[in-house]
Amino acid sequence: MKIHLTTLGCPKNQVDSELMLGMLTDAGFPLVERAEDAECLIVNTCAFIDRAREESVNTILELAKLKERGTCRALIVTGCLTQRYGGDILTEMPEIDGILGTANLSRIVELVRQAAGRHDWATSAPPGYLYDATTPRLLTGRVPYAYVKIAEGCDMGCTFCAIPQFRGRHRSRPLADVVKEVEGLEARGVQEAILVSQDTLAYGRDLPGNGDIADLLLALGETRMPWIRPMYLHPAHVNERLVERWARARVLPYLDLPVQHGDDRVLHAMRRAVTAKRMKEIVRAFRAAIPGVTVRTTVLVGFPGESETAFQNLLEFLDEVRFERLGVFTYSPEEGTPSPGYPDQVAPDVAAERAAIVQEHQDRLAWERAAGGDDDEARAPQWPHRAEGPPGDALGLRRRHPDQQPAARDEQPRQRPDDGIEHQPRLLREEGPGRAARGRAGRAPPDVPPGEGDRLTFE
């Protein structure tokens, strides 16, 4: 049976897809690049926010049409959507022949073999699957980098985030196993290992004697992997010891530090476990310890209770910190999280307007930085590296062409102005023509890690 797999969502989903493809190829299933040529279609879905669910459902429905006019005999849906909604998906979408939750990833081969019988391998039990370095993995990108999941799940409990519902509590992979995978990727020609998880700085805390994220980074620095880039760094976990050890580690001078907001009341309501003042201190400490470091962040506007004063505090926070890169999202009420029940909900059109203001604000800061003669050579980082792996463009500090406008923010999916606050997340199946999501691919700016800028931006 010929297989085609479509991946939606974040880099962690991409790793899951590559693991499933590795298992399937080991089992003897041939892969095809075009969905039209496949006998079995697999969709690895995302369910993070309403637009992600909408894209997942629309993709499923579009691919389901190939069962009517193509060679496709089975359609299987995996990932966060199925983990979150389970068997309800089979009821609402009879086009699907089988589903698989994130807790049962290793059973993909069995499900493909039995897909015609519409077997349901989704589970309501807490997700517990963690792959290891021996798990077969087929790298899907014709690129010199690969994502490495060092942990799964999250314990932070942010009041706007549903991820713990379908990814479970934080679970770290053993340090030696991560090192083994990175060494194996380098042997396959990979030049950059991008470390991902839901809460990267929590790595190792759940495994007695395993060490923490700094231990892992120092260990990876002893491998032959030329470049290592950790992502998704929750600021609440940062302390002086971490900054000091981070500066000694052989990692790229790039920090992906999602602050989410700059007003203390909003941060408290979000349950971020950190204040605006503390986050300013953290950024200053990293910049002092790692000269030339690029700091990227994300902010969330329109959260319940975000008053005009709170929003102005956010803008002042951004003015003071002056992040090199920034992405902005509008709040999406998620089923099963506390925030949809909070008072003082912000109207979607107000949230969208605030997102636009933040984007314009960041553009102005970027132009000021460019006009001030911020030269890439002057900002070149001082970091330990091996002679056989000299820093280059992969550092994210490529020189801009004189005619190139500075890119200051990341393109991110945003809510439609008509996405109502009263929305109750379901599967978002839209009937009638034109139900498929339309979008365009944003081009990754020079100082964004591979793949981070190539996400879908909805018109």
Domains of the chain: 3-117 (3.40.50.12160), 143-251 (3.30.750.210), 252-459 (3.30.750.200)
Per residue in 416-432, pLDDT (tens digit) is 333 332 223 334 333 33
Amino acid identity of 331? Y
Burial of 8 (0-12, 13-18, 19+ CB in 10 A): buried
| Alpha-carbon distance values, 73 to 32, 96, 115 (Å) | 15, 11, 9
Per residue in 216-258, pLDDT (tens digit) is 999 999 999 999 999 999 999 999 999 999 999 999 999 999 9
DSSP for 423-447 reads ---S--PPPSTT-S--EEEPPPPTT
What order do you get walking across the sheet with 192-196 strand by strand? 145-149, 192-196, 227-230
Query: Looking at residues 186-198, what average pLDDT do you find?
Result: 97
DSSP state letter for 409: B
211 three-class SS: coil
Per residue in 20-46, pLDDT (tens digit) is 999 999 999 999 999 999 989 999 999
Query: Looking at residues 286-307, what average pLDDT do you find?
Result: 97
Considering only CA atoms, give the Rg of the chain.
22
- The predicted structure's pLDDT at residue 114: 78
| Alpha-carbon distance values, 233 to 57, 84, 274, 297, 369 (Å) | 30, 25, 13, 10, 25
Beta bridge partners of 45: 79
For the CA atoms of 62, 336, 412, 320, the dihedral, rounded to the nearest 10 degrees, stands at 180
Provide the pLDDT confidence category of residue 123 given band limits of 50, 70 and 90: low
Tokens 């120092």 identify what position?
218
| Token pair recorded at residue 122 | 């989704």
Ranges 112-116, 361-365, 416-420, most confident: 361-365
Query: Looking at residues 272-301, what average pLDDT do you find?
Result: 96
